[in-house]
Structure 1
Amino acid sequence: MFLLRLLVSIIGVSHSFSIDDTLHSYSSGDIIIGGLFPIHLEMNRSTMPEKFSCSRYSIQMFLRSQVMIYAIQEINQRTPRVLPDLTLGYDLYDTCGDVSLAIRAALQLMKNQSDPQSCLLPSEIHAALPEPLTKVVIGERYSEVSIAVARIFTLSSVAQISYASTSELLSKKFKFPTFLRTVSSDEFQTKGISQLVTEFNWKTVAIVGSDDEYGKYGSDRLEDTLNDMNVCIEFVEILPGDFTLNNSDTRQKLKYLVGQLINSSAEAIIMFTKDTNVELIMEAAIKNNLNRTWIASDTWSTSARISKMQDIKLAGKVFGFIFRRNEVPGFKNYVSAMFNRTTNAIIRHHLTRYPLCSNQSEEKTAHNCSMQSLDPHCLSSYIDHDESYSIYLAVQVIAEGLRSLLKCGNQRCERNTRFTTSELLEEIKKVNFSVDSTRIYFKDGDPSLGYDIVYWNMSKQDTQIQSIGEYWPNGTIRLPEGLRRSMKVEVSVFNCSKTCKPGNMLKIQGKRCCPKCVPCASREFSPGNG
């Protein structure tokens, strides 16, 4: 009852905070798939609640939104047809990574769009909710946002398939019965990170998390797992939810964190927080020439924005965990010709930011990619093989669920499109099929997929993010034997090996993992120790 009243109040004030102010793209079809993507990574609020703007436009997120559109078009055009005589449409919103904007987009998706005046809630509070035209939703990216919108989608049993939200909380089916994802839960990622630490024989680490569902759950799980493995955690720093440079408290927090890192003896720093937070920290790490070893969680381990930072090698080595990587078949060619075909609203918005150059050849632009004017041949270099593939998988899962529900053969579907969201949800839960070489099925909404372990090779001008190993939910980890041996024998300047001068002794102080050299107490002496 409380949630229904809350939604009534949200809808009641929607006139002062319109979803029309955000980036949105729609294409009609017999079956509509919703999409939630933070194409802008940040929302800026003014002192007036109804005034806001979205900033930090992300080229990678723009491309990921186009993966969903490309995959839907490919299914519509594939021969033989997956869904004969039916077309898939989409209704895609830019959430700007903001919970409130995502909730408003979710409410919009939940309307029965055949009646533009209809409302999510029935006129009588105990009546059945109207069946929405949007039958399934792909998104959101951030766990905190997915958790918020999942409460809404549950009201009408709309299946929600996330391509990047990994919080363990979302696996609790009694709370989120309609939530599924094409990425593994953080439960397995934190175990994998902990196992990597022990494989490299690191004895001390530091953890940087954030005060949101993703960073807090992940940091807590890491702390518990590493303690069980007898790895010393020098400190755990939890960043505030509003960690942006517009905030004076952030600048103080960042300065304090950098001081901790400079004085830290941790052999690896695990950063389990979203990429926008990491970007600020890595800028400071470069400025201070920290040269540490970092372990990246899935949110930033393949971030083009961070890996392409100028002088990123001054920050140090980066290992990371990412969902199983694969190339979206045909997408690179699609991007190269993207602006030659019928465009959508999101592409048109992109062109206002990065107009096409008409006088540059493909050969020239391949070597001279300007951020002020991104040529399509340059744009394809920003395609990732992790979140993009997860989005592609989500569309394939929906198509397979629909094929099964509507009993489709090569020529026709036996059922028409008059089905309920709950019927589609149940069919999606039961899918078990292969996409190229990837087998996918769900258990409690979580997929049968593991992680790739990546390393940032900074030996060349442009950082190359290379897959160097694998981790599977059953605890199996695979790394090159040569890398494992070299990391185990490598003596880190940040480890606890230390020799004291005569008259000093090693002593643990406070919560530090490593002992410090301190003067011997009265009536004690030391010729020097290690």
Structure 2
Amino acid sequence: MICGHTSKRDLLMVEKYERGGHTIGGVFSFRSAAFEFNNFQEPAVDAGIYLTRILPKNLQHFLAFWYAIIEVNKNPKLLPNITLGFRLLDNFCNGRLTYFTTMQLLTSGGFRTNNYNCDTKNSVFAIVGGLASENSIEISNIASTYKMAQLSYGSFDPVLSDKTRFPFFYRMVPNEVMQIKGVIQLLLHFSWKWVGLVAPDDHSGETFVQTLKGLLTQHNLCMAFTQSILMITSATSTDIGKEEAKMYHTFSQTKANVVVVCGDSQSLMLFTFWIDSNYQGAQMALVGKVWIMNAQWDFTAVDSQGFWSLKHFHGALAFTIHTTVVPGFQDFLKAFNPQRYHPKDAFMKEFYKKVFHCGVIYSDRTSEIRCSTEEHLESLPGAVFEMSMSGQSYSAYNAVHVIAHVLHEMHLSTSKHIKSGERGRLELRNVQQQLHHMLRNIRFNNSAGEEIFFNEHQESTTGYDIVNCYVFPNGSLIRAKIGIMDSHTPVHKKFFIKDNAITWNSWFNKTLPRSVCSESCHSGYSQRVQEGKQVCCYDCTPCPEGMISNQTDADHCDRCLDEQHANQERDQCIPKVIHFLSYAEPLGMASATCSLMLSLVTALILQIFIKHQDTPIVKANNRDITYILLVSLLFCFLCPLLFIGRPRKVTCLLRQTTFGLIFSAAVSSLLAKTITVVLAFKATQPGSNMRKWLRKRVANSIVLFCFLGQFVICIVWLGANPPFPILDMHSESGQIIVQCDEGSVAMFYCVLSYMGLLAIISFLVAFLARNLPDSFNEAKFITFSMLVFCSVWVCFVPTYLSTKGKYMVAVEIFSILASAADLLGCIFFPKCYIVILKPNRQSTQLSEIQNATEKIAFYSETDLAEKGGDPV
């Protein structure tokens, strides 16, 4: 039925309505058309048409809308005694025609009588539509003038959230930003970092591109290319040809295997047209591509029985408006056929002609469809018409129920009904005033059991479904739900996808598709961005020493804790080995063994000297000094035991100080012995003044004085900055060196320097006495021993400084044992040889010594024998 006069132009404006107590307007997109708008002086409907095409799948949007009205009218608990009617117009997916269509929807005077309503009893008080964002904006520009509520069932453009510009616009689908966030989550889930983007060349496409680019940057993802699709309503053949060449070049050159596609069904038509018209080239360019489609791009809006095929999109992933099974809707579709429902229906006429090829008989101003009763919707392929309710259809269905529930609430709050024309206009104004307040706060459960309400931006919060598209060889299509993107669920459940439910295209050979600019960096490597390129294009560099990366594509390496170190692969931190010179290891065991054996040898020599203390050679060498020297050497050999084992506070305090004091005592004893030997022969000369220095206490005083000097240094060291144990975690990779910090390095070298000073003095004195009688070799032995002693400790310093850890300790132990063994061997081994093996040689050596001592005793002021002393 058509209100007002009709003409040839009316055939373009397909209209359908049913009367009711309240009339809901509808602007749907059943056909697409391209118009040539030459000027602005004639209506859009008078413009020339050069392309028109029916969209079979879009019929379901209307059928869901219609089914919802039938369901409301049959529900005795919802709007009792009141029926809903509707008035429907087709906007041909065109913005200018949408503007014109909306004007016609609000009037009833025909094409030339805008803003005039000849049927006030069936005035539209709310509009459901449109599908594309561009069309919804045009509807809102008109509807807002009348403060009329508009409920869109398929518009995603974020600009529609501007309530200053669109105060009466209500979105039955979620905001597009939520969908774009879902795309980002999908890319992150599959580690797709290098993606392409195809979007229409309009405001909606530009908004999608800019929003997606920002989120890609935030998550270190990159856009490989951006390809525009010319709008089919404005493209010329020349433009399409240029765009085809550009698309082929883009897809054939890119390394991106994942392509995000934004757009509506009209964009899909041009894109699939390019694929099919360049079949061989397009097929080669699209091999290995995974398509991620947005919810606006409905696959099934393309007629597979026409010129275009969807087989290239097999395995694609798509976001769809959330939908669920509505009880009774499929039965409603199954029972639908041209004989049962309005054979003269203008909407159904072209649909059945297109999909079932039914004959059409024209008679004057009417037409009649001649079809049988066998044309059922369920027999159509999925790419033409789906029996399951789509997201857009579900949104249109919910839009009707929202309006019905709002009207129901309004009728509960007032008992007034529209009965007369003047009063009807007043009531309609009251309806408009109450409608918006209640729409913003409406909340109810639909027949499918889902809660329907708007958020603060007047947008639905139903969320998105993620589907996997499976295209059969015969062109039929199945969309399997594999995940969700829901704003209602907790944060960790907002995005969910079942990987094992996905069917990929056959060219992936059962492997997960990859889309990266650079191959992944394995554990132990980090990314280094290539100069002048995006962050997704990088080189893999090994982690530096002491740092690890334990994940793929790490953007940096992490340093291990001080007590840990990186393993050889540098992908995990492992505990460092505690490192010190222990008794259990060969080096420590050998050092301890040498220390004990040499100390036993020293003890044995001391015992020999005590046993043979009355022999001339023992008596001739000042037994007290000899005993002091042997005891000092005994402790020198035991001193390394303080250096073996884990350093403790006590051992750190005793190590260097004990070593310094004991060696100072030993070298002081040698110095006293050397001086005594020299004086013994110098004092025998007639008129010598050195006899007074030959007293026994003089030698003891030398030992005591020299020892006290070292003792004072050690006391100052321990009092000012004593040694302490530390854990050195950085000197050696993979090891924690337990060692003694000397506290004051300067004091440590003072101890060594003082000991070296005593050794040098002793060496010089012994060197001056090297020409004593050959039968007495004491000075020569001391000279040689001091030479070796000094050599050992001179070599010790650079070697000590160039080593670390337990080897530093081993160097000091070796130096202690070597220098002590040198003293023991050079001074006492020859004497032990004479005492034990050659006792008869003592008399020869003793004669000269006795002559010297007798002269000393003769010239001495006090006889040493009377004081119980021994000869020198």
In which range does the TM-score fall when normalised by the shorter chain?
0.7 to 0.9
How far the C-alpha of 1:490 sits from its partner, in A, is 3.1
**Aligned pair partner of 1:496 in 515, 518, 529:** 518
SS of the aligned residue for 2:272 comes to helix
Deviation string, structure 1 residues 7-66 (Cα, Å, up to 9, x no partner) = xxxxxxx99995663211121112111111110023333758623346110111123222
Residues 438-449 of structure 1: pairs in structure 2 closer than 5 A: 438-443=450-455, 444-449=457-462
Q: Which has the higher contact order (CA 8 A, sep 6+)?
A: 1
Q: Partner amino acid for 2:332?
A: Y
How far the C-alpha of 1:143 sits from its partner, in A, is 0.2
| Partner residue in 2 for 1:67 | 64
Bigger CA drift: 236-245 or 210-219? 236-245
Q: Partner amino acid for 2:452?
A: I
Distance 1:471 1:355, change over 3 A: closer
1:133 partnered with 2:132: no
SS of the aligned residue for 2:87 comes to strand
Contact 2:229 2:270 in 1 (8 A): no
SS of the aligned residue for 1:453 comes to strand
Aligned length: 470
Contact 1:324 1:452 in 2 (8 A): yes
How far the C-alpha of 1:492 sits from its partner, in A, is 2.8
Structure-2 separation of matches of 1:17 and 1:149: 25
Report the TM-score when normalising by structure 1: 0.78
Q: Partner amino acid for 1:144?
A: E
More helix by share: 2
Contact 2:264 2:298 in 1 (8 A): no
Structure-2 separation of matches of 1:23 and 1:434: 33
**Aligned pair partner of 2:115 in 111, 120, 124:** 120
| Partner residue in 1 for 2:268 | 278
**Aligned pair partner of 1:110 in 78, 81, 106:** 106
Structure-2 separation of matches of 1:35 and 1:347: 16
Contact 1:407 1:415 in 2 (8 A): no
1:426 partnered with 2:437: yes
Contact 2:23 2:84 in 1 (8 A): yes
Structure-2 separation of matches of 1:242 and 1:314: 21
SS of the aligned residue for 1:446 comes to coil
How far the C-alpha of 1:467 sits from its partner, in A, is 0.7
| Partner residue in 2 for 1:456 | 469
Q: Give me the identity figure in percent.
A: 22
Residues 236-247 of structure 1: pairs in structure 2 closer than 5 A: 236-242=226-232, 246-247=236-237
| Partner residue in 1 for 2:854 | none
Q: Partner amino acid for 1:330?
A: G
How far the C-alpha of 1:512 sits from its partner, in A, is 10
Structure-2 separation of matches of 1:357 and 1:307: 18
Q: Partner amino acid for 2:408?
A: R
Contact 1:453 1:469 in 2 (8 A): yes
Structure-1 separation of matches of 2:111 and 2:244: 47
Distance 1:400 1:315, change over 3 A: closer
Contact 1:233 1:513 in 2 (8 A): no
Contact 1:143 1:213 in 2 (8 A): no
Residues 116-265 of structure 1: pairs in structure 2 closer than 5 A: 119-120=114-115, 133-242=123-232, 246-265=236-255
Structure-2 separation of matches of 1:116 and 1:55: 21
How far the C-alpha of 1:144 sits from its partner, in A, is 0.9
Structure-2 separation of matches of 1:470 and 1:134: 36
**Aligned pair partner of 1:36 in 24, 27, 47:** 27
How far the C-alpha of 1:117 sits from its partner, in A, is 9.5
Contact 2:229 2:271 in 1 (8 A): no
Distance 1:200 1:415, change over 3 A: farther
Structure-2 separation of matches of 1:251 and 1:402: 52
Structure-1 separation of matches of 2:85 and 2:513: 56
Point out the structure with max Rg over C-alpha. 2
Q: Partner amino acid for 2:296?
A: T
Structure-1 separation of matches of 2:303 and 2:482: 19
Bigger CA drift: 196-205 or 490-499? 490-499
Aligned-residue Cα RMSD (Å) equals: 3.7
| Partner residue in 2 for 1:350 | 351
Deviation string, structure 1 residues 102-154 (Cα, Å, up to 9, x no partner) = 1111112223x5999974289xxxxxxx9991100000000011012101111
Structure-1 separation of matches of 2:128 and 2:67: 14
Structure-2 separation of matches of 1:353 and 1:315: 24
Structure-2 separation of matches of 1:116 and 1:281: 35
Contact 1:114 1:133 in 2 (8 A): no
| Partner residue in 1 for 2:410 | 405
Distance 1:331 1:15, change over 3 A: closer
Q: Partner amino acid for 2:324?
A: N
Structure-2 separation of matches of 1:459 and 1:117: 49
Report the TM-score when normalising by structure 2: 0.49
Distance 1:270 1:170, change over 3 A: same
More strand by share: 1
Distance 1:481 1:490, change over 3 A: closer
| Partner residue in 1 for 2:316 | 318
How far the C-alpha of 1:84 sits from its partner, in A, is 1.6
Contact 1:131 1:156 in 2 (8 A): no
| Partner residue in 2 for 1:472 | 486
- In structure 2, stretches of 5+ residues that fail to align are 360-373, 419-426, 522-528, 540-872
